[in-house]
Amino acid sequence: MAISVETFFLSPDSQGTLQAQIQQLIAEGILSGRFRRGEKLPSSRKLASHLGVSRITVTLAYTELLANDYLTSRGRSGYYVSENAPVPPSFSPPKEREDTVDWSRALGRRFTGGVTPDKPKDWANYRYPFVYGQTDPSLFDHANWRLCALQALGQKDFTALTSDYYDQDDPELVEFIARNTLPRRGIIARPEEILITLGAQNALWIAAQVLLTQRRTAAIENPCYHALRDILNQSRCHVEPVNVDKDGLDPARIPKESDVIFTTPSHQCPTTATMPMTRRQALLDRAREIDALIVEDDYEFEMSFVDAPSPALKSLDTEGRVIYVGSFSKSLFPGLRLGYLVGSESFIREARALRASVLRHPPGHIQRTAAYFLSLGHYDALIRRIRDALKSRRSIMQEAIDHSGLLVAGKGAEGGSSFWMQGPSASNAAHFAQNLKQEGVLIEPGASFFSSDTPPQNFYRLGYSSIPAERIPAGIDKIARALSQEQNWP
Amino acid sequence: MAISVETFFLSPDSQGTLQAQIQQLIAEGILSGRFRRGEKLPSSRKLASHLGVSRITVTLAYTELLANDYLTSRGRSGYYVSENAPVPPSFSPPKEREDTVDWSRALGRRFTGGVTPDKPKDWANYRYPFVYGQTDPSLFDHANWRLCALQALGQKDFTALTSDYYDQDDPELVEFIARNTLPRRGIIARPEEILITLGAQNALWIAAQVLLTQRRTAAIENPCYHALRDILNQSRCHVEPVNVDKDGLDPARIPKESDVIFTTPSHQCPTTATMPMTRRQALLDRAREIDALIVEDDYEFEMSFVDAPSPALKSLDTEGRVIYVGSFSKSLFPGLRLGYLVGSESFIREARALRASVLRHPPGHIQRTAAYFLSLGHYDALIRRIRDALKSRRSIMQEAIDHSGLLVAGKGAEGGSSFWMQGPSASNAAHFAQNLKQEGVLIEPGASFFSSDTPPQNFYRLGYSSIPAERIPAGIDKIARALSQEQNWP
């Protein structure tokens, strides 16, 4: 590639002759990795005119750099970065100076320091990745996704691809969700009751901003999805953790001062408990009694393969009390960043205005691609394939776990994509997870799911949505061995 | 498409026989537009098993619907929605009941009611669209964008396409911005000083959240980008509007209590003024003097074609005081929703944590597509083409305006994509814009750019980035005539 003349500037407070300054600009570009071997420099005429210096000055600078072997000349075709020029590992200019800004004072708010743990980004390089929520390349329908993306990139969809929608969504995606996706959860909603979001994370965040203030109280499940706790802590509302049992959230335990109840009735996160129908009705009754709203996170309803999924809590809601969060992260892929909120028009209107201010709208092209993938039936086929694979992996998991003597704390009545595991009470999952990583096994320690200063350390989650079935037994075996060594620890 | 059995639920409080309930489910699905002509129903066996009723019940319901011509039977292949079934205009189920939730109390915060005006989404259907910030299909390099998107959809980039990056960006895009884009603005930044955002809107929003609180003061230009005023009003900080002049923001007028100064030095929005070098230095001096930070919105630097663009304010910053906002909305397209923040590591770290909580990361596929488009040189070629077209349109605009007698209030020393116009002092741009719309002419009234309860009503903006050159003279002529009629108004 040619180096653009527009990247050259003479600094007003530079030292030395113009020629020396130009030499230094180029040498620094090469040494920092900005200019790479073989890249072409601007002609001396162009650079001279751009910098407002005489052409001979640029020519002399180039000649000097030729002599130092930073540049080579290819006759009439001009000057290039020499194949002998130094190569830094990657573009990483040195930090030239320390800021004089006092950031401890300048930052108005801090958002770092949340409870969501770092997860290994290179999980695919591990042999036994019991990770949660990533895409399995062997299951995803890459070919049809590509075709749908191509179609959405066509001339017919130019507007959907390029336009600023301001606060709107792709009407084709919204209609498909209303006609086909929500009815599977027993939910009938009109387009003005639906908002497309940047994934379920964004949907939960928006719901929290619209419904909560510093004077309001959110009831959350304990344990629960750690990123939700970060969202609520940042919103500075009061947070009341409510312990879950084998049927999920117990309505009777929800404090009466709660304004908003966050719950995962289909597959409680992380214990995987499914809330029975009678308890769902009791939860709605409790919400009415204390005049609270409910945010229902239905993050992996498609992953039900043992039993047909129960209809969503939202489908039982006759009062507008439930706000429903859906996601395509588990059924399509998380990097897509597409989810949706369903709720009363008064709520969705504020949520839409907030989203417009924060980010306007999810990119048009990905919305249209998803609309095609769904409406052409590829989504249904993909879900069937994923369910079949998860069903088979689950029974392999179960068998290997039974054989190994590990203890399952929750495995989901309807299916799901993970087991919630309990180590011996003295064991520390963060510790044996670290040891297992050395052996190529990734598991997720459970402590960060708990709202407590002294969370139990012995729980962990085993996802089976990304690990090949044939590696499960050996992986479980390694976990069992690491755990037994853990027990022998002093 | 086949109608999924999973969309059928019997409600626990339904009336009537099971057969009647099933008939009603299907009839309602057809009448609301959820099931469409020609779509196939589940087999009676499947539906019976799903609902837990006897197969004869389903068959009787289907037979009844056949008789009513809601369904047709195609022998062994099953039941379909009849071609004679009623067709509603689109899927829009009736609102069944009023919420019992009192939303005036339930909403914790409101985000509607901002100053950003509604813009016509169907601008492309108007003959004279002097709109701002949309994509011109005749200039955009659709073919190469499509090729880059295809490449990013390939097997090699599967991880970039599908993965949850948590709080990370695509390293290829970040490196390209650091190596090639920022140096054009005279800015040298390391990857940890760069954050990819969902467009400039998202970048400004994040900067406001991290830097401002209810006890801090933001100085903004007056007039300024209306969406920025919405962002700051929502953040509840104190806002000080500072009148701009022909050189943009005047540092001497910035109140000393300002904590953050928002500015658009390259092309002041909306007046298009370019801030001279001496004033940029004075602005940095003023910021140091009052210990304020500066957020520089460099939203259309690529659109400089009259003069080479001056280096960014950020390039003069030796203290870490300037936070830079870049965007690909003007140079690629706004529906892409890609922008970036550049600032000191302490700032970017908090901005990244906030972004992770709000939306995690911009979708991987669009980041990688943009990285390819940039690195293959298509972006440079596109910018050259856009500049050439804008340069020619600008001179046609200027000639038509001179000829028509309209008054230009600002037109940008370096170029840009709009003129800032001033009508006679008694005229009302909202009023004549409405009249012009009837004639197929879209202009943007200027009042909403001003921070004032009684903003001047006679300013308006004429964008020329989406109107074909040959229509400019007739469009300007229509504007001049509408304005002269406006003056004759009682």
pLDDT digits (tens, 9 = 90+) for B106-140: 999 999 989 888 888 889 999 999 999 988 888 89
Q: Which of A447-451, A457-461, B181-185 has the lowest mean pLDDT?
A: B181-185
What is d(CA B374, CA B381) in angstroms, rounded to the nearest whole number? 10
Unique residue bearing structure tokens 């709107």: A168
- The residue-averaged pLDDT of B187-196 equals 94
With beta carbons under 8 A apart, name residues in chain B contacting A153. 145-146, 149-150
User: What value of ipTM does the predicted structure carry?
Assistant: 0.91
DSSP string, A254-302: S-TT-SEEEE--SS-TTT-PPPPHHHHHHHHHHHHHTT-EEEEE-TTGG
What confidence tier does B309 reach under pLDDT thresholds 50, 70, 90?
confident
Per the CB < 8 A criterion, the answer to whether A26 and A61 are in contact is yes
* Beta strand B260-263 pairing with B217-222: parallel
DSSP string, A9-28: ---TT--S-HHHHHHHHHHH
Mark which residues 412-451 of A lie under 8 Å from B by CB: none
* Beta strand B238-245 pairing with B248-249: antiparallel
Q: Looking at the complex, does the CB of residue A236 fall below 8 Å from at least one CB of chain B? A: no
Residue B224 pLDDT greater than 90, yes or no: yes
Nearest to B335 among A111, A162, A198 (CB): A162
- Give the per-residue pLDDT at A90: 64
What confidence tier does B67 reach under pLDDT thresholds 50, 70, 90?
confident
Q: Is A59 exposed, middle or buried (0-12, 13-18, 19+ CB in 10 A)?
A: middle
Per the CB < 8 A criterion, the answer to whether A242 and A222 are in contact is yes
- Give the per-residue pLDDT at B282: 97
- Give the per-residue pLDDT at B311: 87
Residue B283 pLDDT greater than 80, yes or no: yes
Q: Note whether A109 contacts B350, CB cutoff 8 Å.
A: yes
Residue A244 pLDDT greater than 50, yes or no: yes
What is d(CA B96, CA A317) in angstroms, rounded to the nearest whole number? 12
Sheet holding A339-342, edge to edge: A194-197, A339-342, A322-327, A293-297, A260-263, A217-222, A238-245, A248-249
Residue A490 pLDDT greater than 50, yes or no: no
Per the CB < 8 A criterion, the answer to whether A342 and A194 are in contact is yes
Q: What is the largest CA-CA distance in chain A?
A: 87
Mark which residues 346-405 of B lie under 8 Å from A by CB: 346-347, 349-351, 353-354, 356-366, 375, 377, 380
How does the average pLDDT of chain B come out, rounded? 91
Q: Note whether A33 contacts B179, CB cutoff 8 Å.
A: yes
Alpha helices in B153-241 (DSSP H): 158-162, 171-176, 199-211, 226-235
Q: Note whether A346 contacts B103, CB cutoff 8 Å.
A: yes
Percentage with pLDDT > 90 across chain A = 67
Q: For the segment A121-139, what is each residue's pLDDT rounded down to a tens digit?
A: 889 999 999 999 988 888 8
Answer whether the bond into residue B270 is a cis peptide, omega within 30°.
Answer: yes
How many CB atoms sit inside 10 A of residue A357's CB?
23
Nearest residue on chain B to A93, alpha-carbon basis: B190
- Give the per-residue pLDDT at A320: 94
CA–CA min distance A135, chain B (Å): 7
Q: Which of A149-158, B91-100, B172-181, B356-365 has the lowest mean pLDDT?
A: B91-100
CA B314 and chain centroid, separation: 25
CATH 3.90.1150.10 domain extents, chain B: 123-135+381-487
What is d(CA A148, CA A370) in angstroms, rounded to the nearest whole number? 8
CATH 1.10.10.10 domain extents, chain A: 5-81
Residue type at B217 in one-letter notation: T
What is d(CA A405, CA A476) in angstroms, rounded to the nearest whole number? 10
Q: Which two tokens stand for residue A258?
A: 């709660």
From B1, B3, B5, B2, select the one nearest B46 (Cα to Cα).
Answer: B5
Who wins on pLDDT, B228 or B7?
B228
From A27, A25, A16, select the one nearest A71 (Cα to Cα).
Answer: A27
DSSP string, B254-281: S-TT-SEEEE--SS-TTT-PPPPHHHHH
Q: Note whether B108 contacts A213, CB cutoff 8 Å.
A: yes
Unique residue bearing structure tokens 């460099």: B298
Tell me which CATH code domain A123-135+381-487 carries: 3.90.1150.10
Torsion of CA A82, A85, A89, A93, to 10 degrees: -100
How many CB atoms sit inside 10 A of residue B87's CB?
13
Nearest to A95 among B119, B190, B380 (CB): B190
CA–CA min distance B146, chain A (Å): 6
With beta carbons under 8 A apart, name residues in chain A contacting B318. 97
DSSP A179: I
Q: Note whether A162 contacts B336, CB cutoff 8 Å.
A: yes
Nearest residue on chain B to A237, alpha-carbon basis: B108
Q: Note whether B110 contacts A350, CB cutoff 8 Å.
A: yes
CA–CA min distance B415, chain A (Å): 16
How does the average pLDDT of chain A come out, rounded? 91
- Give the per-residue pLDDT at A338: 96
What is d(CA B319, CA B481) in angstroms, rounded to the nearest whole number? 52
Residue A488 pLDDT greater than 70, yes or no: no
From A59, A312, A66, select the one nearest A189 (Cα to Cα).
Answer: A312
What confidence tier does A389 reach under pLDDT thresholds 50, 70, 90?
very high
DSSP string, A24-80: HHHHHHHHTTSS-TTPBPPPHHHHHHHHTS-HHHHHHHHHHHHHTTSEEE-GGG-EE
Q: Looking at the complex, does the CB of residue B112 fall below 8 Å from at least one CB of chain A? A: yes
- The residue-averaged pLDDT of B336-361 equals 96
Unique residue bearing structure tokens 């997720």: A444
Unique residue bearing structure tokens 């320690």: A445
DSSP B304: B
With beta carbons under 8 A apart, name residues in chain A contacting B197. 359
Percentage with pLDDT > 70 across chain B = 97
Q: Which two tokens stand for residue A126?
A: 């591990």
For residue A388, the SS3 value is helix
CA–CA min distance A440, chain B (Å): 19
How many CB atoms sit inside 10 A of residue A420's CB?
23
The domain made up of B142-376 has a fold known as Aspartate Aminotransferase; domain 2 (3.40.640)
What is d(CA B238, CA A155) in angstroms, rounded to the nearest whole number? 46
Where does B290-352 show beta strands of DSSP type E?
293-297, 322-327, 339-342
With beta carbons under 8 A apart, name residues in chain A contacting B293. 101, 106
Nearest to A164 among B155, B334, B360 (CB): B334
Per the CB < 8 A criterion, the answer to whether A459 and A429 are in contact is yes
DSSP B8: -
What is d(CA A181, CA A340) in angstroms, rounded to the nearest whole number? 11
Q: Note whether A319 contacts B149, CB cutoff 8 Å.
A: no
Nearest to A209 among B91, B103, B109 (CB): B109
CA A202 and chain centroid, separation: 10
Q: Looking at the complex, does the CB of residue B212 fall below 8 Å from at least one CB of chain A? A: yes
- The residue-averaged pLDDT of A276-287 equals 96
Q: Looking at the complex, does the CB of residue A67 fall below 8 Å from at least one CB of chain B? A: no
Q: For the segment A9-31, what is each residue's pLDDT rounded down to a tens digit?
A: 887 777 788 888 898 888 888 87
The HSE-up count of residue A154 (CA atoms within 13 Å, CB side) is: 11
The class level of CATH for A5-81 reads: mainly alpha
Nearest residue on chain B to A179, alpha-carbon basis: B34
Q: Which two tokens stand for residue B174?
A: 């970040």
- Give the per-residue pLDDT at A89: 61
CA–CA min distance A486, chain B (Å): 30
Unique residue bearing structure tokens 């005047």: B250
Q: Note whether B153 contacts A145, CB cutoff 8 Å.
A: yes
Q: Note whether B32 contacts A188, CB cutoff 8 Å.
A: yes
Nearest to B353 among A4, A111, A350 (CB): A111
Residue type at B56 in one-letter notation: I
Q: Which two tokens stand for residue A247?
A: 């049927």
What confidence tier does B92 reach under pLDDT thresholds 50, 70, 90?
low
Per the CB < 8 A criterion, the answer to whether B263 and B294 are in contact is yes
What is d(CA A135, CA A176) in angstroms, rounded to the nearest whole number? 23
What is d(CA B64, CA B52) in angstroms, rounded to the nearest whole number? 20
Among A96-105, A188-197, A303-312, top mean pLDDT goes to A188-197
- The residue-averaged pLDDT of B46-55 equals 91
Cβ within 8 Å of residue B324, ≥6 positions away: B185, B187, B296, B298, B312, B313, B314, B341, B342, B343
Residue type at A487 in one-letter notation: Q
Nearest to A6 among B113, B184, B227 (CB): B184
Residue B55 pLDDT greater than 60, yes or no: yes
* Beta strand B322-327 pairing with B293-297: parallel
Where does A116-274 show beta strands of DSSP type E?
128-129, 194-197, 217-222, 238-245, 248-249, 260-263
What is d(CA B220, CA A111) in angstroms, rounded to the nearest whole number? 25
Q: For the segment B394-417, what is each residue's pLDDT rounded down to a tens digit?
A: 999 999 999 999 999 998 888 899
Nearest residue on chain B to A213, alpha-carbon basis: B108
Q: Note whether A360 contacts B202, CB cutoff 8 Å.
A: yes
Helices A142-152 and A378-404: crossing angle, nearest 10°?
150
DSSP string, B36-101: -TTPBPPPHHHHHHHHTS-HHHHHHHHHHHHHTTSEEE-GGG-EEE-TTS---SSS-PPP-S---S
Among A103-112, B7-16, B215-224, top mean pLDDT goes to B215-224
- Give the per-residue pLDDT at B96: 64
* Beta strand B248-249 pairing with B260-263: unpaired
Residue B490 pLDDT greater than 50, yes or no: no
Q: Is A128 exposed, middle or buried (0-12, 13-18, 19+ CB in 10 A)?
A: buried
Per the CB < 8 A criterion, the answer to whether B357 and A227 are in contact is yes
CA–CA min distance B223, chain A (Å): 19
CA–CA min distance A64, chain B (Å): 23
A contact test, residue of B49, B110, B153, B288 with most A CBs within 10 A: B153
Mark which residues 10-49 of B lie under 8 Å from A by CB: 29, 32-34
Reported residue count of chain A is 490
Q: Note whether A231 contacts B357, CB cutoff 8 Å.
A: yes
From B260, B257, B220, select the one nearest B242 (Cα to Cα).
Answer: B220
Q: Note whether B361 contacts A337, CB cutoff 8 Å.
A: yes
CATH 3.40.640.10 domain extents, chain B: 142-376
Mark which residues 293-332 of A lie under 8 Å from B by CB: 293, 308-309, 311, 315, 318-321, 329
